[in-house]
Structure 1
Amino acid sequence: MRTILVILSILFSCSLNAQTKEKNQIKIEQGELGIVRDSNLEFKLLESGVYSKDRLSIITIYTLTEQNFEQDCNVYSKYGKKYDIKISTKYQFNREAISNISKLSNPIPLDYLKYELIPEIRFAAREITGYYTFDELDQNKAGKEILEFLKTRLKTGVLIKSIDIEIINK
């Protein structure tokens, strides 16, 4: 009976070690780039593959492929009329800039879309659409200006490919 308990305890501890090792590994897929920040705030670039994760390290994974999102926003035209618009944005992380992220004074946050991109696009849309009439908004002239405006405000490392504006209510 004692032998069976010893064998069971050995098997149980082995299975716990195996589960712990699995949890401490992270896989970076093709088309992704990882940045490891260790306890000394030093950065290391991770290409695609499987890596062991130290419990004090923070790993941020960035998707390098083109990403899309749509955001509804209400804006005012040149004459003060309120419009509901849908802003479609295509963006992509720039591989070279992400690899140099340790040189940035304020590294790109994990949820870049939520904390950086959406607020900037909403700000730009509200700021710029006020200079356009309904017809100009309908022709998407403001989209090009919003794109240029964002290029000056966003952090290095993100490439905004296009911004399209669609008026929801006319």
Structure 2
Amino acid sequence: MTTRKTINLDPQRKGGLAKLLIPGFIILIIIMILSNTTFVTIDPGEKGIVFKRFSGGLDKEAAPLSQGFRVIMPWNKVYIYDIRMQEHFEKMTVLSKNGLNIEVELSCRYRPISAEIAYLHDEIGKDYLGTIILPELRSATREIIGKYLPDELYSTKRETIQLEIFERTKDKVEKNHLIIDDILIRGVKLPQTLQDAIERKLKEEQSSLEYEFRLTSERKEAERRLIEAQAKADANEILSKSLNEKILRDKGIEATLKLAESPNSKVVIVGGSDGLPLILNN
């Protein structure tokens, strides 16, 4: 037969245990609260600004908190901003100069100015991409592309249009504590019939340029040959003017005597029809 023992706790011991648990529970709650409001970690590529609830709110002139572990007062609040370069891709349908719909894919690289994130937070907030950057980017894209024809955007003026969109957006955005690093046109989609027509036109222009290049090369070659022939003619004319019958006879006698000195057997007859020696081989 099993005997069960009942242990009765002394009421005083129960009261002592309760006195220990309650303070421990309170301390645990306080630690949990403080860990979320007092201890803050700022990761690499981030900056923090402190909102002082009871002493003036945001201190815009103070330097932002840099990366690392930070301790703040529990009644204050820290706002953390990513200050690294970020990239956004945007697809738009815009009208060209002649009223055709063009699909454009853009990319925009941007970041907050780290020293001014307190002003950025106070004036705009964390959704600065949707509040400032995208509206200005879309407005600039519609305005600039609306001044050009589709074939200019597709081929000849693409870099110019891209630069104009960048400058227009940059001027507007950088007044709001943000930096636009670059804007790129990554893709342009035209109606298929128009795209085919532009490609045919580009091929024809390329063929025309190649033909013009060949003509220019041949023209230059003809000019070169003409100059060379003229130079030879001028040289011959100058040479002929510098020679006379006596000089030619002396040169002929000189050459004959040199030939006569060679070991080959020959007969030299002095006094030909023109007064020059004759050389006859045996």
- Whether TM-score is above 0.5 comes out as yes
- Please, which of 178, 200, 215 is the counterpart of residue 158 of structure 1? 178
Higher RCO (C-alpha under 8 Å, 6+ residues apart): 1
What is the root-mean-square deviation of aligned Cα atoms in Å? 2.4
Q: Distance in 2 between matches of 1:53 and 1:75?
A: 49
Is the Cα–Cα contact under 8 Å of residues 32 and 61 in structure 1 kept in the other structure?
A: yes
Q: Give the corresponding residue for 2:42.
A: 28
- Please, which of 68, 72, 79 is the counterpart of residue 49 of structure 1? 68
Change (3 A) 1:58 1:138: farther
Q: Which range moves more in the overlay, 35-44 or 75-84?
A: 35-44
Q: Which range moves more in the overlay, 116-125 or 60-69?
A: 60-69
Is the Cα–Cα contact under 8 Å of residues 60 and 110 in structure 1 kept in the other structure?
A: no
| 1:62-101 to 2 correspondences below 5 Å | 62-96=81-115, 98=116, 101=118
Bigger proportion of residues as helix = 2
TM-score normalised to the size of structure 2? Answer: 0.52
Is the Cα–Cα contact under 8 Å of residues 144 and 164 in structure 2 kept in the other structure?
A: yes
User: SS in structure 2 opposite 1:72?
Assistant: strand
**Largest Rg, 1 or 2:** 2
- Structure 2: runs of 5+ lacking an equivalent: 1-13, 192-282
Instruction: Give percent identity, aligned residues only.
Output: 27
User: SS in structure 1 opposite 2:16?
Assistant: helix
Bigger proportion of residues as strand = 1
Change (3 A) 1:11 1:168: farther
**Letter paired with 1:33:** K
- Structure 1: runs of 5+ lacking an equivalent: none
Q: Distance in 2 between matches of 1:160 and 1:32?
A: 18
TM-superposed CA distance for 1:110, in Å, is: 1.6
Q: Give the corresponding residue for 2:132.
A: 116
TM-score normalised to the size of structure 1? Answer: 0.82
Change (3 A) 1:7 1:108: same
